[in-house]
Structure 1
Amino acid sequence: MPKGFSKIEKERINEKLILAAKQFMATHGFRKMSVEDLTKAAGISKGSFYQFYNSKDELCFEVMEQLEAEQRELISGSILQPGMSAKEGFKQFLRQCFKLFETNPILSNFSKEDFEYLIRKLPEEKIAQHMKRDDDYFVRMVEDYTKQGVFRPCDPMAVSGLFRMIILTVINREDIGEDVYPQTMELFMEMMTSYLVND
């Protein structure tokens, strides 16, 4: 626990830091955000910030991880829908994935340059832990739906890679071309659905 702060104070300050980071990331992007912006909003000194996080980049990464968890909660269990085929349900699930990344103000404000910058700045072990959590989540999902007969037998890790491609595709949409991006995404979803879902 940081010196000078009680457990309750620590929790409240951390909540303020996360809220300030979310607000700034949504309006200005995280690279324009400074430690001073965060500490001013949280009512602490710059020196105190480093008792909570090693860098603003690590705080931003925590915000991104929280958002990812919230997004998963929103779309969890949405593949099998009453009155809808498994294929249509899965395409609906994929559309929700894309929509959440495109409409969330923080995620939609997160550019390819931001992504590359953050990857360079973060400790390798943090990136590795994050990727393992992603893989664990999607592997469990694939294995569950395969057991239920919804998915064809496949390599769960390869499918986890396909889901990671969704994030990378949204981030790189300018390189794909804004004029063809919607059709490209529809084609990607159709191909992924045809590959995975049983008729």
Structure 2
Amino acid sequence: MRAFTEEQREQIKEQLLEVGFSLFSVHGLKKTSVKELTDAVGIAQGSFYLFFSSKEELYFEIIEREEETIKEILLQEIKGKEKIGSGDFAQFLLRGLELVRNNPIIRRVYFEGELEMLMRKLPKERIENHIERDAHVLFPLLDEWEKKGILKETNRDVIMSVIRAYYFALVHEQQIGSEHFLKTAQFLAEAIAEKLIKGEDHD
């Protein structure tokens, strides 16, 4: 098997991530083969495993990158507000849903049934680490809101579980029905925000 320099390894890994995004977005996880990925990058099929243990791991790393971008957008948008009311938090949840639904690869995972396939194939600790990191992203913001007296519920783990439950519930878009989906999402977002965030006159 061909040896790569450190610089080549970094370049090839980045190429695999870019090609993977394109192929997975169009064809999904199941219909995209390792051979298609390596052919597009110009390496031997066996060399793929120098970079990722499976195509599922590549897929998951792409998802994590996309989710990081979405989180950064959401955090920047809500950090810019001096006062946070329940309406702002509901919009925060809905904006996150919009970004997820408009992302071609994350949409496949959450709305087109590929999440279960990933959960079966990836090591349990990989999923657990992702969930833990996911939670920590909002912790500084929640700490700030707690100091300002904005939060009705101050248990950060509970808050993160509620947010996670919101998005996971909406995985079932087809079962909910497309004609009712956005209204349902708004209803849930407003209900959650009302329970978590104090009114505009909290200070």
Q: TM-score, normalised by structure 1?
A: 0.91
Q: Percent identical across equivalent pairs?
A: 29
Aligned to 1:182: 182
Deviations 1:94-148 (A, max 9, x none): 1210100111111223345310010000011101111111122233332221112
| Amino acid paired to 2:18 | L
How many residues align structurally? 198
Q: Quote the Cα distance in structure 2 between the aligned partners of 1:112 and 1:165.
A: 18
Aligned to 2:13: 14
Deviations 1:54-106 (A, max 9, x none): 10000000001111111111111423555875233222211210100111111
| 1:78 counterpart SS class | helix
Q: Quote the Cα distance in structure 2 between the aligned partners of 1:4 and 1:41.
A: 19
| Amino acid paired to 1:197 | I
Deviations 1:167-192 (A, max 9, x none): 31342211222222111111111111
| Amino acid paired to 2:16 | L
Aligned to 1:78: 77
| 2:178 counterpart SS class | coil
Aligned to 1:151: 151
Query: Greater shift after overlay, 46-55 or 72-81?
Result: 72-81
| Amino acid paired to 1:40 | D
What's the offset of the Cα at 1:193? 1.0
Alignment of 1:34-183 (within 5 A): 34-79=33-78, 86-110=85-109, 111=111, 113-183=113-183
Query: Greater shift after overlay, 161-170 or 114-123?
Result: 161-170
Aligned to 2:4: 5
Structure with larger RCO (C-alpha < 8 A, sep 6+): 2
Deviations 1:29-49 (A, max 9, x none): 122111011101111001100
| Residues 1:196 and 2:196 are matched in the alignment | yes
Q: CA distance change for structure 1 residues 130 and 85 in 2, over 3 Å: closer, same or farther?
A: closer
Q: TM-score, normalised by structure 2?
A: 0.89
Q: Is the 8 A contact 1:139 1:156 kept in 2?
A: yes
| 1:109 counterpart SS class | helix
Q: Quote the Cα distance in structure 1 between the aligned partners of 2:193 and 2:120.
A: 33
Structure 2 runs not aligned, ≥5 long: none
Q: Is the 8 A contact 1:80 1:86 kept in 2?
A: no
Aligned to 2:23: 24
CA RMSD between the two structures: 2.0
Q: Quote the Cα distance in structure 2 between the aligned partners of 1:85 and 1:51.
A: 47
Query: Greater shift after overlay, 139-148 or 11-20?
Result: 139-148
Q: Quote the Cα distance in structure 1 between the aligned partners of 2:99 and 2:14.
A: 23
Structure 1 runs not aligned, ≥5 long: none
| Amino acid paired to 1:193 | A
What's the offset of the Cα at 1:15? 0.7
| 2:56 counterpart SS class | helix
